[in-house]
Amino acid sequence: MWDTLARLYIPRAHHVKFLPLVWSGLWRKPVRTALIFLQVTVAFALFGVLQGMKTGVEEAVAKVRADVLFVGPSVQGAARLPLAYVQRLKSIPGVQTVSFADILVGTYQKPNQVVGVLAIEPTDIWSTLVPDLFQVLPKDLEALRKTRTGALITADTGKKYGWHVGQRIALTSNTLQSNGSGTWPFDIVGMVTDHEIGEGGLIVANYAYLDEARAQDKGTVRNFYVVVSDPKQAEAVSDTIDRAFANSSAGTSTHSFRDGAQQEMQSIGDVNFAIRAIVSAVLVALLFSISTMMMQSIRERTPELAVLKTLGFGDRTVFVLVAAESLLVCIAAALAGLGLAWFAFPLAAKYVAGLSMPLVVVELGVVGAVLVGLISVSLPGYRAARLNIVDALAGR
């Protein structure tokens, strides 16, 4: 590419090559070049992390199922929902399937070893219903279905407490059984894959076992899961469900899994605005910094540039020469910064399940580096291109 530019802009009588000139200009002041490189690297590493998290979270939210509705009590802490709601939910137009879940909170051996028991009806619907929560193999779901006191554990939970398939465990809970005991035995019959990485405290059990054994709240559930036939009608079906139980003793609040994920993002503030503000401030500061350094470089190299123009370099060639220096540093440093951000994302994924840095962020970063390079060099490059040879050589 640079040889082509040289052939286009440099007279054939000269044997000076374009790329060596660019390289020589960059390393005329190694410390300054290294400083610019470091600034750009840090700026684009920050850009990659922030923009990557924003884009990654947006893509993660977009992947959350919109056809699965979460039906819970209308007010947090309100009355639990009757299990009898199942039949009415199934009769609502647009509803494809309905399931439910309840929670038992217990401890294992020590009060600080809290274990959450998700009690479900182990039907085939759970094989595909909410993979955003956990995934279960058909054989494990069948094992749970056949064992009244059965339980499925996650790999993290098994590792944390030393549990294994075939083992009987006992949890202590404030939820008492009909016989007055707070001890709940479970037989581990299989595994589930939990998407909350590193959370060692979940097991899945039979709702029938919990409901039949407990002394209070019989025939109630914590929430329902409703699958609609058309995701586009999820909001309409949600409104219909809430209106259907508006006058009941236990009202409902319904939203899709995707809406729930979006609400969680909104609850932590305007992330998009904060990220845009930070990235914009960093890039503007970077533009001023690079422009200042390039202006200083041009002033120091005025006699050299004047000699090049004397040898036949035109205004456009000098501008391209200076711009090439800026672009080379900016693009190389931006790639280094984006590379650091790319390798940092596996660490972020430990806290935000499924988060990854989309390739589009790298593409945006490269485009941004080109723009930063061109904008920052525009004034210094123009000044270099418009040098008057006589004045420059005379030091005026």
Which has the higher per-residue pLDDT, 348 or 247?
A: 247
Distance (Å, whole) CA 42 – CA 152 = 46
pLDDT of residue 15: 40
Average pLDDT over residues 127-134: 65
Question: Which pTM was predicted?
Answer: 0.62
In a domain, 71, yes or no: no
Please tell me whether residues 165 and 123 are part of one structural domain.
yes
Among 176-180, 217-221, 309-313, 351-355, which stretch is predicted with the lowest mean pLDDT? 351-355
CB 84 within 8 A of CB 383: no
Residue 154 has pLDDT above 50, yes or no: yes
CB 94 within 8 A of CB 232: no
Which has the higher per-residue pLDDT, 170 or 382?
A: 170
Closest CA to 288 of 385, 375, 386: 375
Cα–chain center distance at 241 = 32
pLDDT of residue 4: 40
Average pLDDT over residues 243-262: 83
Please tell me whether residues 38 and 133 are part of one structural domain.
no
Other Cβ atoms less than 10 A from the Cβ of 48: the count is: 24
Range of the domain at 85: 79-250
Percentage above 90 pLDDT, the chain: 25
In a domain, 255, yes or no: no
Please tell me whether residues 195 and 137 are part of one structural domain.
yes
Please tell me whether residues 32 and 90 are part of one structural domain.
no
Other Cβ atoms less than 10 A from the Cβ of 74: the count is: 16
Which has the higher per-residue pLDDT, 254 or 127?
A: 254
Please tell me whether residues 56 and 170 are part of one structural domain.
no
Question: pLDDT category, 300, cuts 50, 70, 90?
Answer: low
CB 383 within 8 A of CB 391: no
Closest CA to 209 of 167, 152, 158, 259: 152
In a domain, 70, yes or no: no
Please tell me whether residues 303 and 335 are part of one structural domain.
yes
Cα–chain center distance at 63 = 12
Distance (Å, whole) CA 270 – CA 64 = 20
pLDDT of residue 262: 67
User: Count of domains in the chain?
Assistant: 2
Please tell me whether residues 148 and 37 are part of one structural domain.
no
In a domain, 69, yes or no: no
The tokens for 107 are 């401890």
Which of 250, 277, 293 delimits the end of a domain? 250
Question: What is the separation, in whole angstroms, between the first and last Cα of the chain?
Answer: 35
Q: What is the pLDDT of residues 47-80, one digit of tens each?
A: 887 777 777 677 767 777 778 888 989 887 667 8
How do beta strands 183-194 and 223-228 pair?
Answer: unpaired
Residue 166 has pLDDT above 90, yes or no: yes
How do beta strands 202-206 and 252-256 pair?
Answer: unpaired
Please tell me whether residues 102 and 228 are part of one structural domain.
yes
Question: pLDDT category, 5, cuts 50, 70, 90?
Answer: very low
Distance (Å, whole) CA 62 – CA 265 = 12
Longest dimension (CA), the chain: 104
Phi first, then psi, for residue 309 (nearest 5°) are -65, -35
Which of 250, 279, 297 delimits the end of a domain? 250
Which has the higher per-residue pLDDT, 158 or 293?
A: 158
In a domain, 104, yes or no: yes
Residue 132 has pLDDT above 50, yes or no: yes
Distance (Å, whole) CA 17 – CA 21 = 7
Residue 126 has pLDDT above 60, yes or no: yes
In a domain, 85, yes or no: yes
Please tell me whether residues 196 and 110 are part of one structural domain.
yes
Please tell me whether residues 210 and 343 are part of one structural domain.
no
In a domain, 260, yes or no: no
Closest CA to 331 of 278, 379, 272, 377: 377
Residue 327 has pLDDT above 90, yes or no: no
pLDDT of residue 309: 67
**What is the rounded average pLDDT for all residues in the chain?**
79
CB 115 within 8 A of CB 203: yes
Which has the higher per-residue pLDDT, 267 or 211?
A: 211
Which has the higher per-residue pLDDT, 306 or 283?
A: 283
Distance (Å, whole) CA 377 – CA 123 = 65
Please tell me whether residues 24 and 85 are part of one structural domain.
no
Which of 223, 250, 277 delimits the end of a domain? 250
Angle, alpha carbons 200-115-221 (nearest 5°) = 120
Please tell me whether residues 90 and 230 are part of one structural domain.
yes
CB 142 within 8 A of CB 188: no
Residue 260 has pLDDT above 50, yes or no: yes
In a domain, 83, yes or no: yes
Place of tokens 């401030």: 281
Residue 170 DSSP label = E
Question: pLDDT category, 12, cuts 50, 70, 90?
Answer: very low
The tokens for 201 are 């405290």
pLDDT of residue 147: 94
